Each structure stands twice: as C-alpha cells, then as structure tokens.
Structure 1
C-alpha cells in the first residue's frame, strides 16, 4: 500500500476501535470524577484503567516501576513505540478540578484506538498510567526508573477552557521543599529567656523572602505556607514546619533561585539560634518543551474531528502552573496540548472547573483528544522521514 493508503487504513481502524470503546471510556472518566483519589492513593482509579486496558487486549503491569498506583499497558511490536500518558490523581478538597479524569480516559482511548492499527503501522503502543502529578512527580520517578527508555515519542492532552495547540506554550519549572526549624520550648511568661523560638525563625524567614521578591525578575514566583507554627500562645514553640514552592520560566533558572530562597531560611536559623532542615518533598518539575511537528500533527487531528483550532497568538503563552510532563518533554520528543472543555467556567484547580470535568462537554473533550492523539501516532508512524528522524533522536 502507498503511504496515503496506509495512513487512511490506520485512521479507519483507529476510528472504529475508539467508537467501539467510547462508552467504556466515558464511564471511566465519570467513575474517576465520582471517586477522586489523591496522589499515590489512586488505587481504584489505577485499577479501573488497568481493567479497561486488559479488556482491550493490552499486556498490563500493575504497580509498575515500584509505584503501587502506576500502570503500564503495552500492545504490538515494532521499532517505533508511541507512548501515551494518563494521569488520574485529584486535588484535596477539589476533586477532579484539574480534569485528570478526562486526561486518563482520553489517554486510554488514544492508546486503545492506536493499538487497532499497530500491525498495519508496525508499531508498539504503550499506555503509561502516571500517578501523583499534583504532588509527588510520578512521571519523574518513572522516567528515572526507565519507564520511558523504550518510548520513541510521548503525548497527553490536558483539559482547559479552550484548545491550545501552540507548540511554544509552556509551563514553569518548579521546586517544592519543606523547611523545619528546631529550637527549644519554654514558658513564654515565666521562663522566656530559656527558649529558642522556632516561630520567630519562621517569621524572620518569611520577611526575608518577602524582601527578596522585590529583586526577582518577572515570571519568578515564590509561595509558601506555615504547616506547623506551635501549639499554644504561652509556650515558645520548639518546632515550626513550612512548605515552599519556587518557580522560574526555565529549568536553567530554577537552582539559582532555589539557593537564594533557601538562604533566607538558613539566615533565619542563624538569627534566632535554631537549627534548620530543608528537604525536597517531590522531584523538581521542568518547563514544557513541546515538539513542534508532533503538535502540528495533533492540531491536524483536532481539525479532522471537527474542532475549530485557532491560529496561535503572536506571543506564546507561559502558564504559571507546573507539570511533571515537562520533564518528559525534555527527555524525549513529546507534547502536552490542551483539549478544550468548551463552555467551561473557571480555571483548572477551581471548584467551578471541577463541575465541568464531567458532563457532555467533558465527554466531547475525552473523545476528541483520544482521536487526535491516536491520529498523531498514525501520522508519525506513516511518515517514513519523520519516523526515521524520531528513531534517530532516541538512538
């Protein structure tokens, strides 16, 4: 068959398989929304995804790469491996306000659809169920443990209020760490001179960080909370615990900012006589670097399923949020476009948006993203020159 004939045949197979599984995909999205689970606790969600993949003929590994709620499903064989990422963790108090239920169902649909054309295209399809995107960096852990070693290209689609297929769109790099000040407790009225006030250390540190903000470039962000500030007003606290995030536009800028912020905590310890421990609470998230060719193929797929894809703006969008998919895009050719839940109100991570991640508009987003991602895989596999390029990039 000609290249065009192979591509058309593969797309027909993809379309038929996604149509066959469409109701099961939507049931998955709705079930995850109804039973949200936090990072590294997504046992029911991971189980539902694994069951669906097994029902579609995938070889499935549960608890993959040493992570209880990671899932890896594979289908087919070939020199080119198309990886699709699925997230399914929710937010504390907000449920699926980031739409990971949509991500999971769309990713499963893309992998299942693409598997139907695996033999025609001579490819292997891998669905990577990646836990703890909201807090914990499941993709980073899986990347470090070899989950992406055999993957040629990777993709996922994240819900938003509109479709975004601009390859220049990005997120921030982020580092999250916990700071513990340790002093010595004493009665605040009877024996204050014997105390070493860990609460004072927290205050000094926050003032120092606040003053530092004046000197930071645009696009840098520093935020934090006091998680443990003492028990009673008449007892000088001997321990305070703070959680802080630092964000920069690029990965290269992250460590220098982190050192400046952490110096504020070290200085506060010196000033108050406390000791300080600073420890990361998750791997650093790196900024997204989308592959332009893959993104263009995804945009073509969206148009093919009837979506109106706007022209990219003059200036690229850099979201203030961060994602561990950024690490994947810096390790191999990959994309993280937005799939619009059309008509949705509010931004992701808000109660308003949570209400939109289930329902007719969310259903449409699941199936549109599944088809567009699957067709992106077809486009890569059917284009001999592009296929060879990505295989050479991955060695």
Structure 2
C-alpha cells in the first residue's frame, strides 16, 4: 500500500533490453531501429507481448517520439507518452520516475523507458543541444566538459577534494568493465600511469575522466507491483524517485552559490531518502552518471554517500568502490566511462541487474540499488530501487 504522493512499492522494473555499444558513427541501423530492438528485447525479458505496451517515456531530447515508437511496434493503444526536459543524462532517473508515476496513477499499465542514439541520426554533442546560451558560448564555453571542468577545479582547489578521488572512480569503472564482455573497455584495463599521462580534455579533466560516445539503445519496462510479481521472479521495485533543480541552478549561468555541487540540493536529497524510509548508509550499490569524473564525485558527496573535502580521498579508493566487497560499489557494469554511453540508460539496466542478482559484478545480497542521473546538468534526478525484502517492513 502506498501513501498519498508516494511511489513506494507501487511500480517495478520487469524487463531490460539493450543493443551492443558501438563506436560512434558505426551503427548498422538507425536510432529508431536500435530503439525498437532494445524495446523488443526488454519485452522478451519481461515475458510481455510488445503490443501490450501502452506508455512511452524518454529524455535528453530523444528524437524518437513515443507515438512513433508505439506505432512501429503495433501497440493496441498509447495511453501515456512523455519526454523529460533537461540536457544530458539529468533526466535518466526522472524518466523511470515518470513511468512509475503513470503506472501508480493508473494512466498506463506497461510503460517502456528508452533512449537511443546514433551519430548519423543525432549528430555530435546531442547531449548539450540547446543548453549553451550566449552567456556561455560568447565566453568560449562550448561543451559540457568545459563547464564541468570549471566546477571540478573549484571542487579540488576550494573544497579540498583530492584528485585521487576522481581517479579511483575511473579505475573502479574500468575494473568492473573487465568482467563485462559487453563493455567497450572490456579487455582494456587502465594502467595508473596511462590515466595520469593522458591528454587534457579540459583541465583538470583528462581523457579517461570523460564519458564515451556510442551508438546504441536500451530500454526498461515498468509496470505495477502486482503485475510485476506475475511476470518475473525478482522485480526491481521503485521505492523512491526525485528530480529537480533548486533556485539559481536550472539553466547554468555559472554564478550558482553551490558551484561545486552536483545539483542534488539538500531538500531533494531529503525527499529521496524519506520517500523510501532509508538512510544513505544503507544503500548497497550505486550507478552514478559520470559524464565526467568530477561531477560524479560531487554527486556522491551531495547524497551523503561520500564525505566532503579531504576525507573524500580517504573514502574514494578503488577497493571501496569495487564489487563484490567494497563499502560502496559503483557503476558495476563499467558506467558511461568504461561500459558505454547512451545518456546513461545503461546505468538503469545495471541498477536492475543488481536487484535481480544477475550483474557480472554482483554485490552479494543487494537490496537497495541507487540510480543517480546527470550531476552538474541543468536537471538532476535519482531513483532508488529495492528488492522484495525491502517491502516486507512496510
């Protein structure tokens, strides 16, 4: 039973599907075709007839509208179709939350969340399109890397977070990718000297601090908790979800008071934990959107998962961040940096795998799996997924 205004336990992810990550510009099909393949795979995983889908959600300016995807699938009826506004991957968790809200309110029964990109269809830099106003580009700020570099430099210089925290996050991504045959970095371990000597992209961010760009698509199917229990053995229940931007954040003007924050302001964080009735220290595993390493570290600090300042370096070690026995395993499929980048949709699939117990880097007994979307983006979002055991006490 859910309380008014709460998503707790009302919906669950029951199906996941993806296409292989390919080097940008090399996809064998259009972004729409890849999206349809991912949706069909997610339906097959859930044991659902694709024609029973009646809700469609995407984010980050996905060019493939829900009505077009639904039409191509031959669905019986489209009852819900929506897009989460906001650049980059800030909307990835918000899209899952929107699907859960639709299900919880009875607006749809089976909602698919999807994201597909190909360079041929979407061009370069689709993640930032429309989010660089004259104030930025007239001063030479043309890419997300530059904005995130400025904020990361302040994080290092003023907040005192050591650079080792950034490297530990990257190395954890690469370590997890070595056990994931689907990861682009599989078979390519990252030597510390190679990381340190890599070329600058925008100081203090070097090559390996930056996410990849890939052609691919992925999708997840969300349905009611009742229906979920009929479909799969281990649904990933949606316990809490938040999205937003505090006053003075939103579209970046580079004068935010909390300049080194990832954008997860205290009230938003409080709503996330209160919605699920848990504390930050109880989370078993995190998939944190790392467009760049600095913002991801800032996100973990914002959420209370990592201490601020110099203490961040003592917490952020490869040992602490890697499965199966780290204190806080992160990005256990390799993340945007080492698995592949399609606006973070792959992070959703891995968050679900951890609840199912099917990750290639499984955290033993994972009951609480956190998804964080879009640190330092104009919009940020988070979703906390849980196992059946997490619902027993409420």
TM-score normalised by length of structure 1: 0.29
Which one has a bigger Cα radius of gyration?
Answer: 1
Structure number having the greater helix percentage: 1
TM-score normalised by length of structure 2: 0.29
